[in-house]
Structure 1
Amino acid sequence: MSHSGKTLTAGVIGWPISHSRSPRLHGHWLDHYGIDGAYLPLPVRPENFDMAVKGLAAAGFRGANVTVPHKEAALRVCDRVDPFATKIGAVNTLVFAEDGISGSNTDAFGFLENLRSAGAGYRSDAGPAMVIGAGGAGRGIVAALLNDGAAEVRITNRTQSRAEQAADELAGRFEGKIEVVPWHQRADALADLALLVNSSSLGMSGQPDLELNLDRLSPDALVNDIVYTPLETTLLARARARGNQTVDGLGMLLHQARPGFHAWFGVNPEVTKSLRSRMLEP
């Protein structure tokens, strides 16, 4: 696409950033909607983050996504932060304006939209949920479920102290019960679940599979894996084979990008089959 000199520019800030698929995603939308815009990968070392963000704003960028390891630092650089991002302590979307920098966290939106748009018909108040993994993604998902009305969310992690820390930090910020499940008891905690989510790296290409006996899981439970390489993880394949409805992780990546694109480029983009296919290309 040729640029007019009024090109709207945004990007994604991370360290490293070469692995990010966000430029492909936003580039697809820019082309599809005929927008004179650009979305750039922006490698920024942690010690340079504040300076880089202020420099991008001064240079006329519309905003940026923020990924590992900068999501907590992004919270501190904002002039305004939406209440949900404040509660979970992380920002992944920045919008630059004349009156300052606004921050939000769209991971929860992306997670829930993925479940709903997949035709799963999931409701957060349907019953207990369990989240495997206590990293940034896991914390965001626990927060999303509680914020959306879940009465109970269980969290389990190979290192139990991380799960306990996540539970302690989130418990006072959201209504609903957070229960830490010891890793060796994870299979026993499946019996009454309405939703099981893997937010860990287990099952990702190049990583060990998630070892989890599903015998106690209700066939009515929804199973989601936020990993999308491969698109169908071993967990999803095993769950689908026993009759559970499953949702892959690609949609979360796609839907979480929509609010930022709308803020920067003025179009509320759609998640389509052609976009999914484009994102899965090597």
Structure 2
Amino acid sequence: MSAAPYAEVIGDPIAQSKSPLIHTFWLDALGIAADYRRAHIKPEDLAAFIDKRRGDADWRGCNVTMPHKAAVMDLVDDPGNIRGTIGAMNTIVRQPDGALIGTNTDAAGFYAPLAELDLAGAPVAVVGAGGAARAVLFALARAKVGPVTILNRSPLKAMGLLATFGLKGDVVALDAQLPPVSLLVNSSSLGMKGQPPLDLDLSPLADDAIVYDLVYSPLQTGLLKAAEARGLDTVDGLDMLIGQAALAFELFFGAAPPEGRDDELRALLTA
């Protein structure tokens, strides 16, 4: 058992996670005597892992990455009805009495870079219909965006998401022409290191459109390069990664991340 408080990130695989770098940077900056680790947990070991951590008083909780964001909902308390809203948990917090509460910081982390924009009624396109897309669509529905076009391999799954979040829109194939949207979001793994590229013709987009790619490895994806070549504003995957981590950090360690250190943190994450 750890002598100091600790949190961790769990997934399968997990070696690629940048969460330990982020949380350790903030812990060191604030002088908090705690630790943040990564744990490789296979799906068949998830229930035993959660049960064991429940009894560890030093454990503050964990971030949850693929493929556990849905399965973990069956193992923890859900007072905020995450199952009925976003439908995926990415953060588990241990209470002093041993109760484990699941929540989702992805939606707020995704929306943070867009918070100052008025997206009400704006047409949006989203690539993908997985767990990340659920957080994105939840946030976009709250922002009261206009029609949403989902580009996805499975039309049925994507149509279900539009209905779940009460969004009007359409579902098209991955190779379909983009509509002239104000915001394009890639919530899929396409363009990630080791994954197929995401080749989209961005010419239909308005000159003031924003292209937001949740992929952060590589940070400068093919999609963002194409957007910048067209002179469009872009948001990269580190913005969401840092945003969702900041909310989780406060839940785990009871302190907000230090202000004014984001440039330093980004330099560390991209070194």
SS of residue paired to 1:125:
coil
The question of 1:91 aligning with 2:89 is answered yes
Asked if 2 retains the 8 angstrom alpha-carbon contact of 1:146 and 1:152, the reply is no
Following TM superposition, by how much is the alpha carbon of 1:75 offset from its aligned partner in structure 2, in angstroms?
Answer: 0.9
Which of 144, 165, 175 is 2:166 aligned to?
175
| Distance in 2 between residues matched to 1:280 and 1:208, nearest whole Å | 22
Q: 1:167 to 1:82 in 2, by over 3 A?
A: farther
SS of residue paired to 1:124:
coil
User: Which residues of structure 2 form unaligned runs of 5+?
Assistant: none
Q: What residue is the counterpart of 2:266 in the other structure? A: 276
More helix by share: 1
Asked if 1 retains the 8 angstrom alpha-carbon contact of 2:127 and 2:174, the reply is no
Which of 235, 244, 249 is 1:261 aligned to?
249
Q: What residue is the counterpart of 1:27 in the other structure? A: 24
SS of residue paired to 1:10:
strand
Q: What residue is the counterpart of 1:142 in the other structure? A: 137
Counterpart mapping for 1:106-121 below 5 A: 106-116=105-115, 121=116
| Distance in 1 between residues matched to 2:6 and 2:175, nearest whole Å | 48
TM-superposition CA deviations, 1:155-174 (whole Å, max 9, x none): 112x2x2x421331x34433
Q: What residue is the counterpart of 2:71 in the other structure? A: 73
| Distance in 2 between residues matched to 1:260 and 1:134, nearest whole Å | 24
SS of residue paired to 2:14:
coil
SS of residue paired to 2:113:
helix
The percentage of counterpart residues that share the same residue type is 42
| Distance in 2 between residues matched to 1:107 and 1:46, nearest whole Å | 21
Which of 202, 213, 217 is 1:214 aligned to?
202
TM-superposition CA deviations, 1:207-262 (whole Å, max 9, x none): 33322112211111111111122222222122122221111111111111112110
Asked if 1 retains the 8 angstrom alpha-carbon contact of 2:21 and 2:269, the reply is yes
| AA partner of residue 83 (structure 1) | N
| AA partner of residue 176 (structure 1) | L
| AA partner of residue 16 (structure 2) | H
CA RMSD of aligned residues (A): 2.0
User: Which residues of structure 1 form unaligned runs of 5+?
Assistant: none
Following TM superposition, by how much is the alpha carbon of 1:18 offset from its aligned partner in structure 2, in angstroms?
Answer: 1.6
| Distance in 2 between residues matched to 1:262 and 1:45, nearest whole Å | 27
Q: 1:260 to 1:184 in 2, by over 3 A?
A: closer
| AA partner of residue 209 (structure 1) | P
SS of residue paired to 1:230:
coil
SS of residue paired to 1:254:
helix
| Distance in 2 between residues matched to 1:265 and 1:80, nearest whole Å | 20
Following TM superposition, by how much is the alpha carbon of 1:130 offset from its aligned partner in structure 2, in angstroms?
Answer: 0.4
TM-superposition CA deviations, 1:101-158 (whole Å, max 9, x none): 1111111111111334xxxx4333151110112222123212221133223211112x
| Distance in 2 between residues matched to 1:37 and 1:25, nearest whole Å | 13
Matched length? 266
Asked if 1 retains the 8 angstrom alpha-carbon contact of 2:127 and 2:185, the reply is yes
TM-superposition CA deviations, 1:187-215 (whole Å, max 9, x none): 2x322x11011122222233333221122
TM-score under structure 2 length normalisation: 0.91
Q: Judge which range, 33-42 or 146-155, deviates more.
A: 146-155
| AA partner of residue 93 (structure 1) | T
| AA partner of residue 25 (structure 2) | H
| Distance in 1 between residues matched to 2:126 and 2:163, nearest whole Å | 18
Following TM superposition, by how much is the alpha carbon of 1:77 offset from its aligned partner in structure 2, in angstroms?
Answer: 1.0
SS of residue paired to 2:175:
helix
Q: 1:234 to 1:45 in 2, by over 3 A?
A: closer
Q: Judge which range, 255-264 or 176-185, deviates more.
A: 176-185
